[in-house]
Protein backbone atom coordinates (compact mmCIF):
# COMPACT_ATOMS: atom_id res chain seq x y z
CA UNK A 1 0.00 0.00 0.00
CA UNK A 2 1.24 3.45 -0.97
CA UNK A 3 0.72 6.20 1.61
CA UNK A 4 1.12 9.94 1.15
CA UNK A 5 2.15 11.64 4.39
CA UNK A 6 1.57 15.41 4.33
CA UNK A 7 3.46 16.89 7.28
CA UNK A 8 5.81 19.89 7.38
CA UNK A 9 7.39 19.25 10.81
CA UNK A 10 10.47 17.04 10.28
CA UNK A 11 10.53 15.98 13.95
CA UNK A 12 7.15 14.33 13.35
CA UNK A 13 7.43 13.37 9.69
CA UNK A 14 10.78 11.55 9.78
CA UNK A 15 10.00 9.03 12.55
CA UNK A 16 6.43 8.67 11.29
CA UNK A 17 7.50 7.82 7.74
CA UNK A 18 10.19 5.46 9.03
CA UNK A 19 7.69 3.69 11.28
CA UNK A 20 5.15 3.30 8.50
CA UNK A 21 7.82 1.88 6.22
CA UNK A 22 8.67 -0.68 8.91
CA UNK A 23 4.99 -1.63 8.88
CA UNK A 24 5.33 -2.49 5.20
CA UNK A 25 3.92 0.66 3.60
CA UNK A 26 5.49 2.54 0.73
CA UNK A 27 5.59 6.16 1.86
CA UNK A 28 5.75 9.39 -0.10
CA UNK A 29 6.31 12.54 1.98
CA UNK A 30 5.04 16.02 1.15
CA UNK A 31 5.81 19.10 3.26
CA UNK A 32 3.34 21.55 1.71
CA UNK A 33 -0.21 21.55 0.44
CA UNK A 34 0.96 22.34 -3.07
CA UNK A 35 3.35 19.39 -3.15
CA UNK A 36 0.63 17.14 -1.74
CA UNK A 37 -1.71 18.11 -4.57
CA UNK A 38 1.07 17.48 -7.10
CA UNK A 39 2.10 14.12 -5.61
CA UNK A 40 1.46 10.80 -7.40
CA UNK A 41 -1.74 8.95 -6.60
CA UNK A 42 -1.72 7.11 -3.27
CA UNK A 43 -3.85 4.43 -1.61
CA UNK A 44 -4.34 6.65 1.46
CA UNK A 45 -3.45 10.21 2.44
CA UNK A 46 -2.40 11.16 5.97
CA UNK A 47 -2.98 14.91 5.99
CA UNK A 48 -1.79 17.33 8.66
CA UNK A 49 -3.86 20.51 8.82
CA UNK A 50 -1.07 22.85 9.90
CA UNK A 51 0.67 23.35 6.55
CA UNK A 52 2.83 26.37 5.72
CA UNK A 53 1.19 27.33 2.43
CA UNK A 54 -2.41 26.12 2.17
CA UNK A 55 -5.13 25.54 4.73
CA UNK A 56 -5.45 21.81 5.30
CA UNK A 57 -9.18 22.04 4.65
CA UNK A 58 -8.50 23.40 1.18
CA UNK A 59 -6.13 20.51 0.48
CA UNK A 60 -8.66 17.99 1.82
CA UNK A 61 -11.44 19.44 -0.32
CA UNK A 62 -9.28 19.44 -3.44
CA UNK A 63 -8.08 15.87 -2.91
CA UNK A 64 -11.66 14.70 -2.41
CA UNK A 65 -12.83 16.54 -5.53
CA UNK A 66 -10.21 14.70 -7.56
CA UNK A 67 -10.72 11.16 -6.31
CA UNK A 68 -12.17 8.87 -3.66
CA UNK A 69 -8.75 8.27 -2.05
CA UNK A 70 -9.16 7.65 1.70
CA UNK A 71 -8.03 10.63 3.77
CA UNK A 72 -7.09 10.60 7.45
CA UNK A 73 -6.66 14.11 8.83
CA UNK A 74 -4.23 14.85 11.65
CA UNK A 75 -5.21 17.88 13.69
CA UNK A 76 -4.05 19.56 16.88
CA UNK A 77 -7.49 21.13 17.17
CA UNK A 78 -9.87 18.57 18.56
CA UNK A 79 -12.99 20.67 18.99
CA UNK A 80 -16.27 19.37 17.58
CA UNK A 81 -16.54 22.02 14.86
CA UNK A 82 -13.24 20.92 13.35
CA UNK A 83 -14.32 17.29 13.38
CA UNK A 84 -17.69 17.96 11.79
CA UNK A 85 -16.16 20.24 9.15
CA UNK A 86 -13.51 17.70 8.21
CA UNK A 87 -16.02 14.90 7.77
CA UNK A 88 -18.21 17.18 5.66
CA UNK A 89 -15.19 17.98 3.49
CA UNK A 90 -14.78 14.29 2.77
CA UNK A 91 -12.17 13.10 5.27
CA UNK A 92 -12.69 9.43 6.17
CA UNK A 93 -11.24 9.67 9.68
CA UNK A 94 -9.15 11.92 11.89
CA UNK A 95 -6.64 11.67 14.71
CA UNK A 96 -5.88 14.39 17.24
CA UNK A 97 -2.32 15.22 18.25
CA UNK A 98 -0.64 13.84 20.22
CA UNK A 99 -1.51 10.34 19.01
CA UNK A 100 0.04 6.92 19.53
CA UNK A 101 1.73 5.27 16.58
CA UNK A 102 -0.08 1.96 17.11
CA UNK A 103 -3.42 3.78 17.22
CA UNK A 104 -2.58 5.50 13.94
CA UNK A 105 -1.61 2.23 12.25
CA UNK A 106 -4.90 0.71 13.45
CA UNK A 107 -6.83 3.66 12.03
CA UNK A 108 -5.00 3.36 8.70
CA UNK A 109 -5.78 -0.35 8.55
CA UNK A 110 -9.46 0.21 9.35
CA UNK A 111 -9.86 2.94 6.73
CA UNK A 112 -8.10 0.87 4.07
CA UNK A 113 -10.33 -2.12 4.85
CA UNK A 114 -13.45 0.02 4.54
CA UNK A 115 -12.21 1.47 1.27
CA UNK A 116 -11.48 -1.99 -0.13
CA UNK A 117 -14.98 -3.27 0.61
CA UNK A 118 -17.51 -2.86 -2.15
CA UNK A 119 -20.14 -0.25 -1.52
CA UNK A 120 -23.44 -1.65 -0.21
CA UNK A 121 -25.35 -3.41 -2.96
CA UNK A 122 -27.30 -0.70 -4.74
CA UNK A 123 -30.62 -1.03 -6.51
CA UNK A 124 -30.36 -2.07 -10.16
CA UNK A 125 -32.40 0.88 -11.40
CA UNK A 126 -32.85 4.54 -10.57
CA UNK A 127 -34.50 5.17 -7.21
CA UNK A 128 -36.61 8.25 -6.53
CA UNK A 129 -37.62 9.65 -3.17
CA UNK A 130 -39.73 12.70 -3.90
CA UNK A 131 -37.49 15.10 -5.82
CA UNK A 132 -34.36 13.08 -4.98
CA UNK A 133 -33.12 10.81 -7.79
CA UNK A 134 -30.34 8.25 -7.21
CA UNK A 135 -28.63 6.62 -10.20
CA UNK A 136 -26.48 3.68 -8.98
CA UNK A 137 -24.84 3.18 -12.37
CA UNK A 138 -23.18 6.59 -12.27
CA UNK A 139 -23.36 7.23 -8.50
CA UNK A 140 -25.10 10.47 -9.44
CA UNK A 141 -27.68 12.10 -7.19
CA UNK A 142 -29.96 14.92 -8.29
CA UNK A 143 -32.48 17.03 -6.40
CA UNK A 144 -35.12 18.69 -8.57
CA UNK A 145 -32.93 17.91 -11.57
CA UNK A 146 -29.78 19.53 -10.14
CA UNK A 147 -26.76 17.35 -9.45
CA UNK A 148 -25.74 17.26 -5.79
CA UNK A 149 -22.10 16.75 -4.87
CA UNK A 150 -21.78 13.97 -2.31
CA UNK A 151 -18.66 12.52 -0.76
CA UNK A 152 -18.14 8.78 -1.45
CA UNK A 153 -19.30 7.87 2.05
CA UNK A 154 -22.34 10.14 1.83
CA UNK A 155 -23.34 8.40 -1.40
CA UNK A 156 -22.80 4.95 0.15
CA UNK A 157 -25.00 5.93 3.10
CA UNK A 158 -27.77 7.30 0.87
CA UNK A 159 -27.63 4.27 -1.44
CA UNK A 160 -27.87 1.97 1.57
CA UNK A 161 -30.97 3.72 2.88
CA UNK A 162 -32.42 3.62 -0.66
CA UNK A 163 -32.22 -0.18 -0.76
CA UNK A 164 -35.65 -0.22 0.91
CA UNK A 165 -37.47 3.11 0.91
CA UNK A 166 -39.24 3.76 4.18
CA UNK A 167 -37.53 0.87 5.97
CA UNK A 168 -35.87 1.73 9.27
CA UNK A 169 -32.16 0.93 9.48
CA UNK A 170 -30.73 0.77 12.97
CA UNK A 171 -27.59 2.68 13.84
CA UNK A 172 -25.79 -0.62 14.38
CA UNK A 173 -26.82 -1.94 10.95
CA UNK A 174 -25.67 1.23 9.24
CA UNK A 175 -22.30 1.33 10.98
CA UNK A 176 -21.72 -2.36 10.21
CA UNK A 177 -22.78 -2.28 6.57
CA UNK A 178 -21.71 1.18 5.43
CA UNK A 179 -18.64 1.67 7.57
CA UNK A 180 -17.07 -1.53 8.94
CA UNK A 181 -18.27 -4.50 10.96
CA UNK A 182 -15.24 -3.93 13.22
CA UNK A 183 -15.85 -0.18 13.61
CA UNK A 184 -14.74 0.78 17.08
CA UNK A 185 -15.01 4.56 17.03
CA UNK A 186 -17.88 6.82 18.01
CA UNK A 187 -21.09 6.60 15.99
CA UNK A 188 -21.01 10.41 15.97
CA UNK A 189 -19.62 10.09 12.45
CA UNK A 190 -23.01 8.69 11.37
CA UNK A 191 -24.81 11.73 12.77
CA UNK A 192 -22.36 14.03 10.95
CA UNK A 193 -22.99 12.30 7.62
CA UNK A 194 -26.77 12.27 8.15
CA UNK A 195 -26.70 16.01 8.93
CA UNK A 196 -24.61 16.70 5.83
CA UNK A 197 -26.93 14.64 3.62
CA UNK A 198 -29.97 16.49 4.95
CA UNK A 199 -28.38 19.81 4.03
CA UNK A 200 -27.76 18.57 0.50
CA UNK A 201 -30.92 16.64 -0.35
CA UNK A 202 -33.47 18.13 2.03
CA UNK A 203 -34.04 17.76 5.76
CA UNK A 204 -37.37 15.99 5.29
CA UNK A 205 -35.96 13.22 3.10
CA UNK A 206 -34.20 11.33 5.91
CA UNK A 207 -36.36 10.44 8.88
CA UNK A 208 -35.02 9.91 12.39
CA UNK A 209 -36.67 7.16 14.40
CA UNK A 210 -35.70 8.08 17.94
CA UNK A 211 -33.76 5.39 19.75
CA UNK A 212 -33.63 3.18 16.65
CA UNK A 213 -32.09 4.64 13.52
CA UNK A 214 -32.91 6.27 10.19
CA UNK A 215 -35.03 5.77 7.08
CA UNK A 216 -35.13 7.31 3.62
CA UNK A 217 -38.63 8.69 3.13
CA UNK A 218 -40.94 6.89 0.72
CA UNK A 219 -43.40 9.57 -0.51
CA UNK A 220 -45.39 6.91 -2.34
CA UNK A 221 -46.39 5.32 0.97
CA UNK A 222 -48.08 8.45 2.27
CA UNK A 223 -51.84 8.23 2.60
Q: Higher-confidence residue: 47 or 138?
A: 47
Q: Is 45 inside a domain boundary? A: yes
Residues 141 and 55 in one domain: no
Q: Give φ, ψ of 46 to 5 degrees.
A: -105, 105
Q: What is the pLDDT of residue 121?
A: 46
pLDDT in tens, 28-83: 999 999 999 999 989 999 999 889 999 888 999 888 878 778 899 988 766 555 56
Residues 140 and 35 in one domain: no
pLDDT in tens, 203-214: 889 999 888 899
Residues 160 and 76 in one domain: no
Q: What mean pLDDT do residues 109-115 have? A: 80
Q: What percent of the chain has pLDDT over 70?
A: 85
Q: Where are the alpha helices (DSSP H) in 152-215?
A: 152-162, 171-174, 188-201
Res. 91: pLDDT tops 90:
no
Domain extent for 94: 2-116
pLDDT in tens, 164-197: 888 899 988 888 888 765 555 556 788 889 999 9
Residues 214 and 193 in one domain: yes
Residues 140 and 112 in one domain: no
- Give me the number of domains the chain comprises: 2
CA distances to 60, 66, 103, 220 from 89, in Å: 7, 13, 23, 33
Q: What is the pLDDT of residue 199?
A: 92
Amino acid sequence: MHLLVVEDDPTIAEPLCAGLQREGFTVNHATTGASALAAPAADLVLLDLGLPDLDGRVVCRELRARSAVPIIVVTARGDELDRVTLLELGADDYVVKPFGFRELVARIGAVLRRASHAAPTAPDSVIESGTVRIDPRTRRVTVEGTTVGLTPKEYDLLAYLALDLGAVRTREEIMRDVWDEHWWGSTKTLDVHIASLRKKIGADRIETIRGVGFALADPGSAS
